[in-house]
Structure 1
């Protein structure tokens, strides 16, 4: 049995108000190509299919196209579970009617954990979809005591352990936060105060656990308890992550082996730093100038329309930080001469940017006189 484990598609996501739908379409096409190239028996998506519980129409249309190509055209079964970003009921609409087509969607949590038997070309496996469920939901559905996410997950996994898989390997698909997992800024916290953390040991008895929620590829507790990571870099804190999907193969004994299949984005998400003049010059030869960028300017003087200047070279600058000015503030000596010098420097820069030429000595002296007169007026008022 061979399948692709992926998660956290977040279709419809924006990065600093920039739509990522085209970028997502590009990477989803790669997943379809990888599924074909590796002749997989299934594709598993471990939650956060959409970025919002009520997704925009163009996000729904993109998912519909992906599902059609995988399930109808390529005849590859697809398993999807709801994550904390998804609207469980909306995602799970008509899921019972779709089972026979090869599309298996696990939306709202039900009293009976759903077992999905998939037959592969060289073996079969039993998949158990556990949608994201907080302790309150588990208490309501199962009429039990569960005050933490770990207690809630333990209750769900009891059914998986007790279920007769007919000797087939057991694959758990879940969306949760394992204790010790590496987070990034783009993940929505599941709770406050650490109550969302779950011990990886709960999942080690199974042949493979396909996890979603954390955006960096990683494993916890054991190598077969894995996060595939997100499709794309959804925050600048993820700039050093290498995005991929996980190719999983279960042998005749149910032992899992894995391979990370890299994903290539249309545009990278990265941070660049330096002075404005330096960045504008290097941008002329930067082959990746179309990337989504956060820029940290180290200039310590005022700059007129810094964002406009940057976007003339780097069209997809999404965020600008003036680190030079911020660091300078902590070092300013509040002497009158220093304040005067700072005001003069700022006006000199402003004058040069507006007029296109530097101030003459006479103009600088006139400005110094004006600043002195302003300070005298302040002292006497």
Structure 2
């Protein structure tokens, strides 16, 4: 059994208000070509298919193109689960009617975790799709007492453990945050205070675990517990990441081997630094000057229309920082530290500045619950 593991497509995403739809189409076509080239038996997408719970029409149209090519034209089964960015009910619409076509969509969490049996050219496997679900959702669906993401995941995996696979390898597909995973700025937190972290040990008993949520390709706990990473760089913090999909092959004993198949973006996402005159001169010979750029200007004097001058050479400058002007008073470092803080940390600072007192533990817990509810409402709106 051979399949491609990918995740975090985020179709419809923007980078600093720049639509990435054409860039996404460019890379999705590569994924289809890789599936054909390697004669895979399935493609697995581990959540965050869309970037928003209510995706724009052009994002839906692009996904429809991809699904049609894979499932209808190439006859390659496709498994997709809902991530924390997806609208679970919308993504899962009519999924039961589509199963026989080779399209398997796991949208809302249900009480019965369904095993999807796929037979490849050299054997079969069972795939268990576990859509993103916070502890409150698991409590509601299963009527159980869980308070952390790890307890919620352990509850879902009970059915996977109990299911008789009849000797076939078990592949778990999930969208979550494993403890110790390397984050980037483009991922939306699943929770606050560390309650979203899950031990990788929960997934090591299975032949392979296809994970989504973290945008950098990596594994945790064991080599067969893997994040494929996103298909594109969705923040400047990812400029040094190499994007790929993971080609997985299960042998007759259910042991997994993997290979990272690189993806090439239509435009790279990177940061350039220096004085304006120097950067404009370098741009004359920069064959990648149409990349999406963050520019950090080190000039210490005022510049009239710095962005306009830069865009005359680099048309896709998306963000400009005047580090030279701001270096002495340290505002840049302060601003970056402020951006990296979570919502709770920022509100705690605000509370202290306004009231002159620190928040009590009870106040922090109440604020944490309120922020969680806001994130949940945003996902379901």
Relative to the length of structure 1, the TM-score reads 0.87
Q: CA deviation at 1:79?
A: 0.1
Aligned match of 1:181: 181
Distance 1:331 1:89, change over 3 A: closer
- Computing the radius of gyration from Cα coordinates, the structure with the larger value is 1
Q: CA deviation at 1:333?
A: 20
Supply the distance in 2 between the matched residues of 1:357 and 1:32 (Cα, whole angstroms).
Answer: 57
Partner of 2:307, secondary structure, is helix
CA deviations over 1:116-163 (Å, ceiling 9, x no partner)? 000101100000000000000000000001100000000000100000
Distance 1:379 1:250, change over 3 A: closer
Q: CA deviation at 1:166?
A: 1.3
Partner of 1:334, secondary structure, is helix
Distance 1:345 1:309, change over 3 A: farther
Q: CA deviation at 1:277?
A: 0.3
On the 8 A contact 1:283/1:313 being kept in 2, the answer is: yes
- Give 4+ residue runs of structure 1 displaced > 4 Å after superposition: 330-381
CA deviations over 1:280-316 (Å, ceiling 9, x no partner)? 0000100000000000000000000000000000000
On the 8 A contact 1:170/1:208 being kept in 2, the answer is: yes
On the 8 A contact 2:53/2:379 being kept in 1, the answer is: no
C-alpha RMSD of the superposition: 15.4
Supply the distance in 2 between the matched residues of 1:173 and 1:100 (Cα, whole angstroms).
Answer: 20
Q: CA deviation at 1:328?
A: 3.0
Supply the distance in 2 between the matched residues of 1:182 and 1:164 (Cα, whole angstroms).
Answer: 34
Query: Structure 2, unaligned stretches of length 5 or more?
Result: none
Identify which range, 341-350 or 17-26, moves more after superposition: 341-350
Query: Structure 1, unaligned stretches of length 5 or more?
Result: none
On the 8 A contact 2:192/2:368 being kept in 1, the answer is: no
Supply the distance in 2 between the matched residues of 1:376 and 1:249 (Cα, whole angstroms).
Answer: 36
Aligned match of 1:159: 159
Q: CA deviation at 1:187?
A: 0.1
| Structure showing greater relative contact order (alpha-carbon pairs closer than 8 Å, 6 or more residues apart) | 2
Alignment size in residue pairs? 381
Identify which range, 351-360 or 104-113, moves more after superposition: 351-360
Distance 1:304 1:164, change over 3 A: same
Distance 1:157 1:279, change over 3 A: same
Distance 1:312 1:157, change over 3 A: same
Distance 1:370 1:328, change over 3 A: farther
On the 8 A contact 1:304/1:350 being kept in 2, the answer is: no
Distance 1:323 1:350, change over 3 A: farther
Distance 1:342 1:328, change over 3 A: farther
On the 8 A contact 1:178/1:220 being kept in 2, the answer is: yes
Identify which range, 319-328 or 174-183, moves more after superposition: 319-328
Supply the distance in 2 between the matched residues of 1:360 and 1:145 (Cα, whole angstroms).
Answer: 26
On the 8 A contact 1:302/1:346 being kept in 2, the answer is: no
Relative to the length of structure 2, the TM-score reads 0.87
CA deviations over 1:206-238 (Å, ceiling 9, x no partner)? 000000000000000000000000010000000
On the 8 A contact 1:270/1:294 being kept in 2, the answer is: yes
On the 8 A contact 1:175/1:211 being kept in 2, the answer is: yes
Distance 1:157 1:301, change over 3 A: same
Identify which range, 354-363 or 306-315, moves more after superposition: 354-363
Supply the distance in 1 between the matched residues of 2:229 and 2:41 (Cα, whole angstroms).
Answer: 21
Aligned match of 1:321: 321
Distance 1:371 1:338, change over 3 A: farther
Distance 1:312 1:164, change over 3 A: same
Is 1:72 matched up with 2:66?
no
Distance 1:27 1:355, change over 3 A: farther
Distance 1:302 1:121, change over 3 A: same
Partner of 2:249, secondary structure, is strand
Distance 1:300 1:168, change over 3 A: same
On the 8 A contact 1:182/1:216 being kept in 2, the answer is: yes
Aligned match of 1:356: 356
